[in-house]
Amino acid sequence: MDPLDLPLTTDRLVLRAYRESDARTHLPIYSREDVSRFLLQEPWTAEVAETEIDKRLPRTGLETDSRALALVIETADGLDSLEGSRVIGDIAIWLADDSEEKAEVGWILDPAAAGHGFATEAAIAVLNLAFDHYGLHRVFAQMDARNTASAKLAQRIGMRQEAHLRRDWWSKGEWTDTLVFGMLSSDRQTA
Ligand SMILES: CC(C)(COP(=O)(O)OP(=O)(O)OC[C@H]1O[C@@H](n2cnc3c(N)ncnc32)[C@H](O)[C@@H]1OP(=O)(O)O)[C@@H](O)C(=O)NCCC(=O)NCCS
């Protein structure tokens, strides 16, 4: 796997590696109840933010020891819909099941930036990277079945729903259903 040239840019976004200061940029997003509702974690405190960002700093590529790429989503300068350049979320992809060719993707967006297609734009860029740069065979996403925004996003970027697992995950005091979405490199060739 070849090393990556970061940041990635899309029409409206910059996807960059983490910095230590992202504990500060991420805390207002991850400390929200509505953001963490379907995540495995509780809302972050400032202390948790420091620890979590420290874990993310080395995730600079699937080819690194971390086997993961964690990217901060920033709006590019000059967008009409949001003022200035700022952090609006993050997206990550990580190799799964000891495989070099299968990876899971996950996304989080500041609710203040929702509804503009920013997560879609970031996710398409990461799928392109996964298949075109890294040459992966399969990318998948899993989410709480009640997380309709996340499921819609997976569908919007062309992933197919492959499973609805019933009460398979113990989360925040209850058994929850999980949806699994997947995309294969061969899906893209036939699309
Ligand atoms: C999952 C999540 C990232 C989806 O965010 P989102 O804002 O719905 O997704 P997008 O930024 O791609 O925006 C899509 C919406 O913008 C609209 N839109 C506007 N302009 C658009 C454009 N240029 N391209 C695509 N969609 C556009 C779409 O129609 C869609 O609206 P709808 O929800 O009414 O159908 C967000 O809900 C989230 O962070 N949730 C909390 C964390 C979480 O649960 N993460 C997933 C864990 S599995």
Q: Is the CB of 30 under 6 A from ligand 1?
A: no
Nearest to 183 by CA among 132, 127, 129: 127
**Does the Cβ of 176 fall within 6 Å of ligand 1?**
no
Q: Which atom of ligand 1 is nearest to the CA of 37?
A: 44
Alpha helices in the chain (DSSP H): 22-30, 33-36, 46-56, 118-128, 148-156, 185-190
CATH of domain 8-138: 3.40.630.30
The answer to whether 49 touches 6, Cβ cutoff 8 Å, is no
Q: Is 141 helix (H, G, I), strand (E, B) or coil?
A: strand
Q: Which residues of 23-47 are buried (b: 16+ CB within 10 A; e: fewer)?
A: bebbbebbbeeebbebbeeeebeee
Tell whether omega for the bond before 3 is within 30 degrees of 0, i.e. cis. Answer: no
Distance 2 CA to ligand 1 centre (A): 31
pTM, to two decimals? 0.95
Domain coordinates in residue numbering, the chain: 8-138
- Quote the CA–CA distance of 132 and 156 in Å, as a whole number: 19
Tens of pLDDT along the chain (191 residues) come to 777 899 999 999 999 999 999 999 999 999 999 999 999 999 999 999 999 999 999 999 999 999 999 999 999 875 655 555 689 999 999 999 999 999 999 999 999 999 999 999 999 999 999 999 999 999 999 999 999 999 999 999 999 999 999 999 999 999 999 999 999 999 987 65
Q: How far apart are CA 13 and CA 164, in angstroms?
A: 32
